[in-house]
Amino acid sequence: MKKYFLILMLLLCGIAFGSEIDLRFENANQLYRSGGYDKAAKLYEEILAQGYESPELYYNLGNCYYKLNNLPAAILQFERARKLKPQDEDIVHNLTLANLRTEDRIEPIPDLFFINWWRKWTELASADQWAIIGLVSLWLALCMIIGIFYIYRSLLIRRIFSIATTLAVLLFAVSFLAAIDRHKIMDNHKFAIVFSPSTDVKSAPDVQSTGLFVLHSGVKVELIDRVGDWNKVRLADGKVGWMQSSNFKVI
C-alpha cells in the first residue's frame, strides 16, 4: 500500500511541477509582451535552471536578449532553439537577423550540393524522431512480408505489397542513417558563441603565442580540441586557432 501511495505522490508532484513551469512560462510571456524584457529573461532563465528546456523557451529568451541589445546572448539562445528544432522558420529568421548585426562577416565554405541536401533532409527531424520513423517503417515492412507469404493469395495484392515493402525498407535505411548522422552531430560536434567584445585567436594554447586573427562577440565557432583552459576553434570559413574558454559560451 505504501508503495502505491509513494508512486501516486510522485505523479502528483510531477503534475504540480509541470503546472508551475507552465504558469511561470506564461508569466514570462506576458512580461515580454508588455515590454518587460529584463524581467521576462530572468523568469525564462529560472525555468532553464530547473532543468526544463524547449525550443520555444530558448526562442523566447533569445528574443528578450535581442530586445535588450545583448546580441551574443540572443544568438546563443537562438542557436540552442535551432538545435532542438532545426527547420523552424521563426527561429532561423531571428537567428539570421541577429547574425546580421554582428561585427564579423565570415563566409562559410560551401558544401557539395548532395551534402547540403542530406543535411537539410536530416534536419527535418531529431535523432530520436528518425529512429522512431525507422522502427515504424521496419515494422510495416515485416507486416507486409507476413501478408505476402501467409495471408494474401492474390497476385496483384502481392505485387503491391512487394513494392510497399521495398519502399518501407528504403525508408528504414534512410531513417537509420539520418538518426546516426543527427546523433553524431549532437554528440561529436560542439559549437560555441563568442561573448568577449574582442579576443585574439592564437596560433597555440599560450598567451605569448602569435595572434592569428581577432573575433568579436556573436561569432559562432566549432570546438575541436582542448588543452587546459584553451580551446582549439574552427570558423565556418575554415580558419583555425586557439582561444581561452572564458571568451565564449557553449551552445
Query: Which residues of the chain fall below pLDDT 70?
Result: 1-18, 186-188
Q: Which three cell numbers mark 25?
A: 512560462
Question: What values do phi and psi take at 180, rounded to 5?
Answer: -65, -45
pLDDT at 17: 46
Q: How many CA atoms lie within 13 A of 64 on its CB side?
A: 24
211 by DSSP, 3-state: which?
strand
pLDDT at 194: 97
Q: pTM for the complete prediction?
A: 0.74
The domain defined by 2-100 folds into 1.25.40
The domain defined by 190-250 folds into SH3 type barrels. (2.30.30)
pLDDT at 115: 78
Cα Rg of the chain (Å, integer): 24
DSSP code for 151: I
Q: What is the pLDDT of residues 6-54, one digit of tens each?
A: 443 444 444 444 578 889 999 999 999 999 999 999 999 999 999 999 9
Q: Which three cell numbers mark 188?
A: 561529436
Q: In Å, what is the CA distance from 47 to each residue of 57, 67, 72, 135, 223?
A: 9, 20, 20, 34, 27
User: Locate cell 535588450: which residue?
Assistant: 68
223 by DSSP, 3-state: which?
strand
